[in-house]
A and B are shown apart, each in its own frame.
Chain A
Amino acid sequence: MKHSFIDQYCNLNSFVHRLDPRTKLVASLGYILAVLLTPAGKWWFFAFYLCMILGLLAFTKLPMLYVLKRSLVVIPFVLLVAIFVPFFKEGEVAGSYNMWLWKVSLTYSGLFVLANVMVKAWLCIICLTLLSSTTKLAELLKGLRQLGVPQVMVLILSFMYRYIFVLVDEAMRMQQAYQSRDIGGNLLRRLKTFGNMIGALFIRSYERGERIYAAMVSRGFDGQVQTLRPLILRRADMYFSIAYGILLVSPFIVWLWLQWQAR
């Protein structure tokens, strides 16, 4: 079965693609931090950061629509968490509705918080989309390893990415086999079957894990993962980091300067 892979555009060629994965990892982390630290309601900060990431995107030759679609994937999750804020936040009421027995009211300050959360989440996700579509996952993991993330974590991520589609395929086959014999029945029975399927999937994964381990051991694996080709930071990475760092903090500096002027 065909799946879309997270790093499907990582074979394009642009200066962003060519940057060292570590540079990109740190840059993304910095971006996320900057966006999160931006005080609520500083819309021109957000506008600046949006322009910044769009500028980088323009260099990468990634299809904009693809990035947009990818970035929207996370919105439902954010909504799920933040949707209740406007209802519970105290403040000036924007509108109230009678829902059956309840009287619920939205507040302006609540909506304000919601908007901020959404914008921040969206910006962060665009940044991560940019990171994951310009870097091969193997390179990204190598970068993580060299940045000092424990080997076990990197291995888990690597195996997860390698086998998630194998698992999805297995689950889909089971689903099809089930559906082709599905003759209805009540909800309880269906749930039970579903539970059995999850159990079977777990056992299969466990057994696959054992076979993979046997395959690793057969090729001399002794618990130590050897790696070749350490990454080397190039001059371009340095130039990029400096320019990027300056851009990232510039809204804060401008803001501080304005504050100082106003005094």
Chain B
Amino acid sequence: MASTIVISIRDLSFTYPDGTCGLRKVSLVVYAGENVAIVGPNGAGKSTLLLHLNGVLRGDNTVEICGIPVRDGNLKEIRKKVGLVFQDPDDQLFSLTVFEDVGFGPMNMGYSEAEVKERVAKALELVGMGGYENRSPHHLSIGEKKRVAIATVLALTPELLVLDEPTSNLDPRSKWSLVALLKRLPVTKIIATHDLDLVRALCHRVVVLDRGEVVADGATEAILSDSALLKAHGLAPED
């Protein structure tokens, strides 16, 4: 299919202020409708890469989202297009009510009151948390928190959903219901994870990242059946 390019990154490198190398010449192109998993051992640079997608971090080369370069002037535009869900929902949900949290993005975008309410209701409905508007995030279970965290970015109707370890700390039931939820959402997704079950169930393409470099990029079946590759990058047990 003749798809549009959602993410386009060429030779992106990033070094943290303390000198640690985060990313080394990463190139990545993602098309609309793709579900891409980013896997790799701890410290491989997965989260660093994700933070580049909406300009929280900026490397030496520009990232383009839907053809728009990520730079100071158009961050608001970028952040409307890229919904970034953090690993710990307690970081994502900082308000005293679910409504305020889900409405936070739309309010920042300057939507009218009626539209904010509509967006909040719709986003919560999408993740199966309709009617939770007036609950406090700290009273929710971790599975519920994860869903609300996803709703907080869906409220901006992003074109790209970026998830950092969406299934961490979830029991199997919550995990599979989250996978089912993610499958239903018709947006392009980038998922950083160690959870190969999740990758198999959801993503058709896998990018392997190790020490800040892209070491493999291909179809899920091909990569997950390449045991030599998985072993080399600490994703499968060494025998």
The reply on B193 being an interface residue by CB < 8 A is no
The answer to whether A215 and B108 touch across the interface, beta carbons within 8 angstroms, is: no
Inter-chain CA distance A138–B103, complex, in Å, is 14
Shortest CB–CB separation between residue B108 and chain A, in angstroms?
4
Inter-chain CA distance A161–B86, complex, in Å, is 21
Inter-chain CA distance A84–B209, complex, in Å, is 66
Inter-chain CA distance A216–B56, complex, in Å, is 10
The answer to whether A211 and B88 touch across the interface, beta carbons within 8 angstroms, is: yes
The reply on A255 being an interface residue by CB < 8 A is no
Among candidates B113, B137, B156, residue contacting A229 with C-beta atoms closer than 8 Å: B113
Among candidates A137, A208, A220, A228, residue contacting B91 with C-beta atoms closer than 8 Å: A208
The reply on B28 being an interface residue by CB < 8 A is no
The answer to whether B94 and A220 touch across the interface, beta carbons within 8 angstroms, is: no
Among candidates B91, B97, B117, B139, residue contacting A215 with C-beta atoms closer than 8 Å: B91
The reply on B76 being an interface residue by CB < 8 A is yes
- Taking CB atoms, residues of chain A closer than 8 Å to B103 are 228
The reply on B232 being an interface residue by CB < 8 A is no
Inter-chain CA distance A229–B103, complex, in Å, is 12
The reply on B13 being an interface residue by CB < 8 A is no
Give the A interface residue count (CB, 8 A): 29
Among candidates B51, B88, B153, residue contacting A219 with C-beta atoms closer than 8 Å: B153
Shortest CB–CB separation between residue B170 and chain A, in angstroms?
18
The reply on A59 being an interface residue by CB < 8 A is no
The answer to whether A219 and B104 touch across the interface, beta carbons within 8 angstroms, is: yes
The answer to whether B156 and A219 touch across the interface, beta carbons within 8 angstroms, is: yes
The answer to whether B108 and A138 touch across the interface, beta carbons within 8 angstroms, is: no
- Taking CB atoms, residues of chain B closer than 8 Å to A159 are 94
- By beta carbon, the residue of chain B nearest A3 is B138
Given contacts A212-B94, A218-B84, contact A166 B138 (CB under 8 A): yes
- Taking CB atoms, residues of chain B closer than 8 Å to A215 are 84, 86, 91-92, 94
- By beta carbon, the residue of chain B nearest A161 is B96
Report A144-164 residues with CB < 8 Å from chain B CB.
Answer: 158-159, 161-163
The answer to whether A220 and B88 touch across the interface, beta carbons within 8 angstroms, is: no
Residues of A within 8 A of B (CB): 5, 136-138, 141, 158-159, 161-163, 165-166, 208, 211-212, 214-222, 224, 226-229
- 9 additional A-B pairs beyond A216-B104, A221-B108, A229-B113, beta carbons within 8 Å, are A5-B139, A136-B97, A214-B86, A214-B91, A218-B79, A218-B86, A220-B105, A226-B107, A228-B113
